[in-house]
Amino acid sequence: MLSRIVKLPTNRRVLPGTANVSGQTKNSTVDQQQITNFNELKTNWWIEDGIMKPLHSLNKIRVPFVRDGLINTGLVHKQFVNTPQPLKNLQLLEVGCGGGILTEPLARLGCTITGIDAASDLINLAKEHKKQDPRLTCIHYNFDTVENHALTHAGKYDGVVASEVIEHVNDKDVFLKSCVACLKPKGSIFLTTLNQTMLTWIFGIIVSENVLRIVPKGAHEWDKLMQPHRLQKLLEDNGCRTRVIHGMFYNFLTNNWSWISDTSVSYAIHAIKN
Amino acid sequence: MAKNSILLLRNYMQYALNLHTKTYCTKTPPHYDIIIVGGGMVGTTLACTLGKNSKLSDHRILLLESGTPHNWIKTEKYSNRVSALNLNTYNLMNKIGAWKHIAEIRCSSVKNMQIWDAISDVMISFNHEEVSNVAAHIVENDLLIYAVGKELCCLKNVEVKNQVKIKEFVLPQQPSQNVFVHLNEGETFTCNLLLGCDGAQSQVRNAMGVNYISWKYDQMGVVATLKLSEANENVTAWQRFLPTGPIAILPLKNNLSSLVWATTPDHARALIELKEVDFVDKINDALWKPLDNSSIIQESTKAFNKLLEFFELPTSNEKQLPPKVIGVDPGSTAAFPLGFGHATNYVKQGVALVGDAAHRVHPLAGQGVNLGFGDVSTLNKILGEAVYSGRSLGQITDLQEYETLRQRHNFPTMVAIDGLHKLYNTEFPPIVLLRSLGLQFTHALNPLKKAIINQAAR
């Protein structure tokens, strides 16, 4: 339900409706229609029980997922485990960072993090919001796409995070290739997304967007969702070995996320670059 | 002319003075991540626990206490204010390293408990086979604060300020704002999270403006240190429910026990005025003297005992006799009022209540301070996890989780304790009969007893 990647030169900005055409522009995995949708959400982005409520509460499990993933692969020095800054000295890239809901907590854990997004309004919002906490000096936000970013930052990062992003991307192969290119060898990539099943179609899209209204209308397109084994295959093709896949469950009554073994609605993947 | 220049000079001085105060006022006040208000047992322990949490190690903590610094000197004499620490509190004390100081100095363990009804003489007992060796540890309150303080003073990230009176708390209206703490002396501090451990009359709670349900019991607690006749192993806690309130004696060492006697205010005031010999007689009467008892109750409990015997279940016949009191430690007698209180909310943006500030119970189950230490454990875990997950301190969602978890434990416990108080505060025969049969039934069923022990140990 988040935002995304490639910057379109402003003179090529495409009108809504012709979005699919624009999405297939050279080098771009971005769907311009969705970018327009996301830019419109900026006013409520940081309100914890607003339209982005599920993404705020998702932090409760996805931050530990990234943190413990990095710890378990041995990238974190033992002396930093169980301290306030376990990710000290690590370089992270967040692709599709939006307004910075996930970027800020990761930055507080001590890493240097670059957040990129193809929605300019959201990047500006993120830049504005980080000023509220003086400790967030190690965040760099860029209005950029991962394809473009990979050109100049290949092999630079210990970890790449793309949470709730890949389901909005047009060309997933190019997207993943670029993400992986940014990683150092043995670096970790963390993805969370929706599965492509009947259940997601009913609950993830129809019910969430129209009945419960916990997800903005038009945020997800079923055709763009991906099954875990296909995503795993894509990661493998791009030189990554999957370490874990967890299912995620959202209780909309209590606004709580929890890990489950069943991946049929949404799931998280942690893979390591060979 | 001279008058003019004096006037000029005075104006100038006033201007300079104003300038000075102005710069003083606009200076940013010292900032802490956490300010804890109240340096009692719970406040001191909270400061130490948070200070030792490795996940919070870069956080600065300030503990504000209105009293003088704690200076505890070991004497032969025991303090009359003691607490029965349950398993959870014992584990917490071990975790923060305070238990070794307590164990080095003195404490006693309760291995058995016997509780009985003065009217029907029906009893329930918990012995150490059922309660995993030690049911509770009896520790003097002063000693506990001293032991925790000993660990606290080595922590670099915790500061303690004594003898401070708080003028005002300004609580945040929005998530990004800080809490302001203004002292009477004119000093001001800011913090991300304010923790109120300032007892039943909490100033922090008043500033939060939360609903506080409270009532006074028509009882006062009388405490004293008692000398016992037998010098054999003293490991049993005794409690007898009299129609005026429960009397309990808790082991301190072989020939010493601590008295906690809840009784009517008039009776309490009369008791503390008594001479030692008379007071000792009253205590022995309260522990031993049989009360008039209707024959229906007698017959019914006897019949129920027979029934239990038939099924080979434990009965009230195995009752042990309490020790005989021979003296009272001079100057150890005191009385204090008893009450019930519960804040409907423990938290607000940037602020949380801990211990007696949030809840106050009757001492009949010895749970009051343990509930407070339970708050400390839970809050410590939640705050550590929040910071370790990159959330800023004092976010309302984390505080609400603390509130939910604690209220889910505290409230039922408090209701049960209050219910027990009401149940035993009457001589009405049908009620006496029912509670006696209930107690016999509970005593006969080990799983039920274990469930009670588990609730009390958490």
Q: What is the ipTM of this complex?
A: 0.83
> What is the distance in angstroms between the Cα of A108 and the nearest Cα belonging to chain B?
5
For B139-154, write each residue's pLDDT tens digit.
Answer: 999 999 999 999 999 9
> Measured between CB atoms, does B28 come within 8 Å of chain A?
no
Subunit contact B388:A67, Cβ cutoff 8 A: yes
The whole-number pLDDT of residue A2 equals 41
> What is the distance in angstroms between the Cα of A67 and the nearest Cα belonging to chain B?
8
Which chain B residue shows the shortest CA-CA distance from A66? Answer: B389
- Residues from chain B that touch A105, judged by Cβ atoms under 8 A, are 389-391
Instruction: Give the whole-number percent of chain B exceeding pLDDT 90.
Output: 53
For B61-103, write each residue's pLDDT tens digit.
Answer: 999 999 888 777 888 888 989 999 998 999 999 999 999 999 9
The answer to whether the beta carbons of residues A113 and A140 sit under 8 Å apart is: yes
Subunit contact A60:B389, Cβ cutoff 8 A: yes
Which residues numbered 354-373 in B keep a CB inside 8 Å of some CB on A? Answer: none
- Residues from chain A that touch B388, judged by Cβ atoms under 8 A, are 64, 67, 82, 84, 86, 109
* Ordered per-residue pLDDT tens for chain A, 274 residues: 444 443 333 333 333 333 333 333 445 777 777 777 777 777 788 888 787 888 999 999 999 999 999 999 988 888 999 999 999 999 999 999 999 999 999 999 999 999 999 988 999 999 999 988 888 889 999 999 999 999 999 999 999 999 999 988 889 999 999 999 999 999 999 999 999 888 888 887 888 888 887 777 777 888 888 999 999 999 999 999 999 999 999 998 888 999 999 999 899 999 999 8
The string of DSSP codes covering chain A is -----PPPPGGG---TTSHHHHHTSTT----HHHHHHHHTTGGGTT-TTSTTHHHHHHHHHHHHHHHHHHHHTT-S-GGGTTSS-TTTT-EEEEET-TTTTTHHHHHHTT-EEEEEES-HHHHHHHHHHHTTSTT-TTEEEEE--HHHHHHH-TT-EEEEEEET-GGG-S-HHHHHHHHHHTEEEEEEEEEEEE--SHHIIIIIIIIIIIIS--S-TTS--GGG---HHHHHHHHHHTTEEEEEEEEEEEETTTTEEEEES--SSEEEEEEEE-
Subunit contact B390:A105, Cβ cutoff 8 A: yes
The whole-number pLDDT of residue A17 equals 34
| A100 is known to lie in a ligand binding site | no
The whole-number pLDDT of residue B14 equals 54
Subunit contact B54:A85, Cβ cutoff 8 A: no
| A135 is known to lie in a ligand binding site | no
Q: Taking the CB of residue B393, how many other CB atoms lie within 10 A of it?
A: 17
Q: How far apart are CA A249 and CA A196, in angstroms?
A: 15
Size of interface A-B (CB pairs under 8 A): 44
For B345-371, write each residue's pLDDT tens digit.
Answer: 999 999 999 999 999 999 888 888 999
Q: How far apart are CA A273 and CA A181, in angstroms?
A: 9
The answer to whether the beta carbons of residues B175 and B111 sit under 8 Å apart is: no
Q: How far apart are CA B378 and CA B401, in angstroms?
A: 10
Which chain A residue shows the shortest CA-CA distance from B384? Answer: A84
Q: Going by C-beta distance under 8 Å and a sequence separation of 6 or more, which residues neighbour residue A140?
A: A112, A113, A114, A115
How does residue B9 score in pLDDT terms, banded at 50, 70 and 90?
low
Subunit contact A109:B390, Cβ cutoff 8 A: yes
Strand A139-143 relative to strand A112-117, pairing: parallel
For residue B404, pLDDT beyond 80:
yes
> Measured between CB atoms, does B387 come within 8 Å of chain A?
yes
Query: Can you say whether the dihedral through the CA atoms of B45, B47, B50, B54 is positive or negative?
Result: negative
For residue B35, pLDDT beyond 80:
yes
- Residues from chain B that touch A84, judged by Cβ atoms under 8 A, are 55-59, 387-388
> What is the distance in angstroms between the Cα of B397 and the nearest Cα belonging to chain A?
9
The whole-number pLDDT of residue B365 equals 83
Supply the mean pLDDT for chain B.
87
The whole-number pLDDT of residue B233 equals 81
- Residues from chain A that touch B390, judged by Cβ atoms under 8 A, are 59, 63, 67, 104-109
- Cα A46 to chain centroid distance, Å, stands at 16
B353 compared with B24, residue with greater pLDDT: B353
- Residues from chain A that touch B176, judged by Cβ atoms under 8 A, are 132
| A62 is known to lie in a ligand binding site | yes
The answer to whether the beta carbons of residues A172 and A256 sit under 8 Å apart is: no
Domain ranges of chain B: 2-456
For B424-449, write each residue's pLDDT tens digit.
Answer: 888 888 888 888 888 888 888 877 87
Cα Rg for chain B, rounded, in angstroms? 26
Which chain A residue shows the shortest CA-CA distance from B387? Answer: A84
- Residues from chain A that touch B58, judged by Cβ atoms under 8 A, are 83-85
For residue B278, pLDDT beyond 50:
yes
If we measure between CA atoms, which residue out of B180, B179, B188 comes closest to residue B161?
Answer: B188
Cα Rg for chain A, rounded, in angstroms? 17
Q: What is the DSSP secondary structure assignment for residue B365, as one 8-state letter?
A: G
- Cα A22 to chain centroid distance, Å, stands at 21
- Residues from chain B that touch A111, judged by Cβ atoms under 8 A, are none
For residue B130, pLDDT beyond 70:
no
H or E element that contains B328: strand B325-328
CATH number 3.50.50.60 given to B2-456: yes
The whole-number pLDDT of residue B441 equals 81
Subunit contact A84:B391, Cβ cutoff 8 A: no
| A40 is known to lie in a ligand binding site | no
- Residues from chain A that touch B382, judged by Cβ atoms under 8 A, are none
Q: Which of A101, A108, A112 to mutate to test the interface with B (most CBs of B within 10 A)?
A: A108
- Cα A274 to chain centroid distance, Å, stands at 22
Subunit contact B391:A105, Cβ cutoff 8 A: yes
Q: Going by C-beta distance under 8 Å and a sequence separation of 6 or more, which residues neighbour residue A134?
A: none
Q: Report the Cα–Cα distance between both ends of chain A, in Å, rounded.
A: 29
The whole-number pLDDT of residue B11 equals 58
The answer to whether the beta carbons of residues B51 and B152 sit under 8 Å apart is: yes
Which chain B residue shows the shortest CA-CA distance from A82? Answer: B55
- Residues from chain B that touch A109, judged by Cβ atoms under 8 A, are 388, 390
3-state per-residue secondary structure call for B20-58: HHHHHHHCCCCEEEEEEECCCHHHHHHHHHHHHCHHHCC
